[in-house]
Amino acid sequence: MPNPRRLAEAITKQSRAFVFTVRIKGINPATKERDERFVNIATDTLMTRGELEVMAANTVGQGIDSVGLDDTVFTLVGGTRAGMLGQIL
């Protein structure tokens, strides 16, 4: 589980206590080349790496119709926590 004290403070207001970025890697079916996309998960609950990666997969789906990539892999790459600027309520 990410250590909330080690997460950088957001430099702008954010909608939840934590915002995590998950990288989606896969094969572009049109070019047959590796490609990557990113999705942000905003949550008030601290979650494990696995939970965040599953949530990202469920949010965007793993089919070609949703992210446009084949053979997708989801990886947590970073996160922020609400800081002095606080949260948008």
- Quick check: is 56 in a domain? yes
Tell whether the model's pLDDT for residue 70 goes beyond 70. Answer: yes
**The token pair that represents 83 in the structure block:** 């800081």
Number of separate domains in the chain: 1
- Quick check: is 88 in a domain? no
Q: Are the beta carbons of 41 and 55 closer than 8 angstroms?
A: yes
Q: How far is it, in rounded angstroms, from Cα 64 to Cα 71?
A: 9
Tell whether the model's pLDDT for residue 76 goes beyond 70. Answer: yes
- pLDDT tens column, 21-38: 999 999 988 899 999 989
- Quick check: is 86 in a domain? no
Domain carrying residue 68: 4-81
Q: Is 81 exposed, middle or buried (0-12, 13-18, 19+ CB in 10 A)?
A: buried
